[in-house]
Structure 1
Amino acid sequence: MQLYPAPDDALVPPPDRAAQTKRPRGRPPKTVDERDDGNRRQELIRAAARLFHRKGFHATSTRDIATAVGMRSGSPFYHFRSKGELLYAVMDEGMRSAIDRQRRALDIAKQTSSHPRAILAALIRNQFDVLLGPGSDFIPVMLYESRALNARQRASLLQLQSDYESAWTPVLEALHASGRLRTEVKLARLLIFGALNWAVQWYDPRKSASLNDLTAAALTLFIHED
């Protein structure tokens, strides 16, 4: 038992060893993949779009996609839980990009002409760009691989598709009102998209007409001129 007060410096408690070894607050340092997560994710989406377009969804393995971007075979699962989730990401990215491109094409077209035929020409030309132009792997994948999606994913894409196609309705209505479009608007829109989208099956830029030529031919087919 201590009978006398301890010296002042003895009243200071000894250092807390736990506090000395306590880790700093906050998240641990990110790995290289985590720091570059956004870029690597986009690389995977682009590579998957190319491979799904060329080989098909079922014939493309996760290893194929990983190899295309210089990853180990299991690394894509850090970014996507499954190949099906990656397929949905390809389609979602494709539709959102198509909506943005269409909006820009319409803005440019409306600056030069308000005539419905000119606006429709801009929409058709943009559709051919989306389907057949540079970086055009995304929408063809959506057209032919959507059966591999689940119901929730399909519903989400259908909403984006509706947003995209809704821009065509006012133009087709104006052409119908003027007598230049002689088919009911909804049916005309479905037939037009069916015809344009089928071009991904047969178009060859080395042998076929230019996209401008395709646009002119499509207008001649769809729109009646006095």
Structure 2
Amino acid sequence: MTAEEPNRRTELIRSAGRLFHEQGYAATTIRDIAAAVGMRSGSPFYHFKSKQEILKAVVLEGLNSALAGMAAVTREKLGPRETFRGLIRAHLRTILEHGGDFVPVLLYEWRSLSDESRAEIVALKNRYEAVWQKTLKDLKKAGLIRADAKLSRLLIFGALNWTAQWYRPDGAHSIDDIADQTAELFLCPGRAPTSRRRARPAAG
């Protein structure tokens, strides 16, 4: 394997993800994917056995990136509020900095995978969602959210995943700003963390 081969494989995965997102898996050909990275039509088969294997790689790259971001947050052993903020920020970075094409591909194209591949992806997805679920249950127990934890997770994922449709790197809001404001939308008011509370002026 040459030094360029891992990079070419990554290019194929990212380009395929974009095409699957824009055109749909069924309508995208190997020739389309090869052309997007300047390869001959048969060259992708040097890296992947089939188009379905490329689809699996697109979804796995996205999920593994999301899991790595999540692990970095949980290693910090923060309280539920700051863990929640960190998870939101990590999720947004996975989508907006590393390419969020895998999200719609996962949502709409994963049925094109084999049963074995779907089972592998579901296992990773469940690991990711379990950490969110625990964090949201901790928030509810602390009185920091009122809604059902599972419903909250579904609503939050919907809101975060949709940012890929409108976010622009040169826009008015940074990823950190969007993350902070998203957290405030879901957290109960009147429970600001101590670091954000301002000291009251002395009486008299």
TM-score (norm 1): 0.72
Alpha-carbon deviation of 1:132?
1.5
The 1:35–1:132 alpha-carbon spacing in structure 2 relative to 1, beyond 3 Å, is closer
**Residue in 2 that maps onto 1:73:** 41
Q: What pairs with 1:68-147 in structure 2 (closer than 5 Å)?
A: 68-107=36-75, 109-110=76-77, 114-147=78-111
Whether 1:209 aligns to 2:173 is yes
**Residue in 1 that maps onto 2:19:** 51
Tell me if structure 2 keeps the 8 A contact 1:129–1:136.
no
Query: Structure 1 CA distance, aligned partners of 2:173 and 2:9?
Result: 36
Query: Structure 1 CA distance, aligned partners of 2:55 and 2:147?
Result: 36
**Residue in 2 that maps onto 1:195:** 159
Q: Of residues 93, 112, 117 in structure 2, which corresponds to 1:153?
A: 117
Q: Of residues 102, 122, 140 in structure 2, which corresponds to 1:176?
A: 140
Unaligned runs of 5+ in 1: 1-33
Higher relative contact order (Cα pairs below 8 Å, separated by 6+ residues): 2
Query: Structure 2 CA distance, aligned partners of 1:119 and 1:188?
Result: 15
Tell me if structure 1 keeps the 8 A contact 2:59–2:102.
yes
TM-score (norm 2): 0.79
Tell me if structure 2 keeps the 8 A contact 1:125–1:215.
yes
SS at match of 1:182: coil
Query: Structure 2 CA distance, aligned partners of 1:140 and 1:208?
Result: 25
Alpha-carbon deviation of 1:206?
4.2
Whether 1:164 aligns to 2:128 is yes
Query: Structure 1 CA distance, aligned partners of 2:163 and 2:22?
Result: 15
Query: Structure 1 CA distance, aligned partners of 2:109 and 2:11?
Result: 20
SS at match of 1:198: helix
Alpha-carbon deviation of 1:41?
3.1
**Identity percentage of aligned residues:** 47
Alpha-carbon deviation of 1:220?
1.8
Instruction: Report the residue type matching 1:67 in the other structure.
Output: A
Root mean square deviation, CA, Å: 2.4
Count of residue pairs brought into register by the alignment: 189
